[in-house]
Amino acid sequence: MKWVARTEKTGIKVKEASNGKTDKSKTKEAWTEVTGDTPRQEESLEEFKSNWSEVPICDAPSSKDYYFDSYAHFGIHEDMLSDQVRTGAYMKAILNNAHLFKGKTVLDVGAGTGILCLFAAKAGAKRCIGIECSEIAGFATAIAKQNGYGDIITYVHGKVEEVEIPVEKVDIIISEWMGYFLIYESMLDSVLFARDKWLVKDGLIFPDHAKVYLAGIEDADYKEEKFGFWNQLWGLDYSPMQPCALQEPVSDIVDKSAIATSSECIIELDLNKCTLQDLDFVVPYKLKAARKDFLHAMVVWFDCSFEACSPPVVLSTAPGKASTHWKQSVMYFKDPIVVHEGETLSGMLAVRKNAANPRDIDVKLSYELTGKYAVPTTVQYYRLR
């Protein structure tokens, strides 16, 4: 996973009026003087979504160069299979709801080593078909035979959008399609393609719902440790590296105590109904400061739920929950923001597939603070790849 970010506008300090309140007209004048532009909050959601900068300050090999090849390596499958939250949620959802699988035909999109097909077969599925594009498909076939399910499980090697499967329709689609920021890698696109082509009417999808959340965090120590590294190295000035490093968000475990604002669900997906167009989105948000503190970054996490189950099974990647290999996604601000309890940090978040490589995600974040130390609208760009 690789993030690339570039700050488009930098916040400016605005003096308080003598009565202790921020003069909003002065804020706007100061912003225009420094940037030659009016505050971004005047943009509509549609304008914010369509007005992008195309050139990040850092560049790196695109994920399309190694996406499928990466899944041929054993390490990535070891990480996923050893993830107790991830694999345990699927096992619970499938085996504890065997009545939904008994006698059914099941399709696994992106089967990997075949663990989900094995769970479905164990739950009583009549037939399981796994589609896998990487060379790991050969090992999945051997594993199915080794466990006595060789006659039930079949693997098709290739891309979902290009292969044919040995049945006309399936009753259930299972898939572990989630990536960083939920939709990184665009594997959900393939699940929706399979749904529209092969799933019977009123068929089931495991999981079938997902939510993405956003919150502000205090993270001074880690930010200094990670980005202060570039100030001096071996007696040499490495500061030219710092802007790029500073603007490259990370995937990491965020302690729940670091969250200093309310959280907000920024998108909810129903896999039974959503379309590809829903995966490029723009949303407004408002976060309330929970205490007097600094904000250094935004943290993003997701929950997925198996609502066909009774009771529903929830796989959560939230801070404070048992950690997963997804961890959380952290987008750092260029400058820290000072907040007081009850103040509002608001803005817009736009997400789209990268034009050059749809497996990459471009993220555009605006934020402004209304409060004692007001921050005019600031926009940063990020790229997940």
Q: Which amino acid is at 96?
A: N
Query: What radius of gyration, in Å, describes the C-alpha atoms of the chain?
Result: 23
Total count of residues recorded for the chain:
385
Which of these is catalytic: 8, 78, 132, 176?
176
Distance CA 277, CA 282 (A): 11
| Residue 185 a catalytic site member | yes
CA dihedral 85, 272, 127, 178 (to 10 degrees): -30
Question: Residue 116 gets which letter from DSSP?
Answer: H
Locus of tokens 């345990």:
88
The catalytic residue among 47, 78, 185, 224 is 185
The number of angstroms, rounded, from the C-alpha of 209 to the middle of its chain's C-alpha atoms is 14
Residue type, 133: C
- Give which of 93, 151, 97, 163 is closest to 126, Cα–Cα: 151
Within 10 Å of residue 162's Cβ, how many Cβ atoms? 8
- Lookup: tokens for 304: 């997925």
- Please state, in angstroms and rounded to a whole number, the distance separating the CA atoms of residues 116 and 140: 11
Catalytic residues: 176, 185
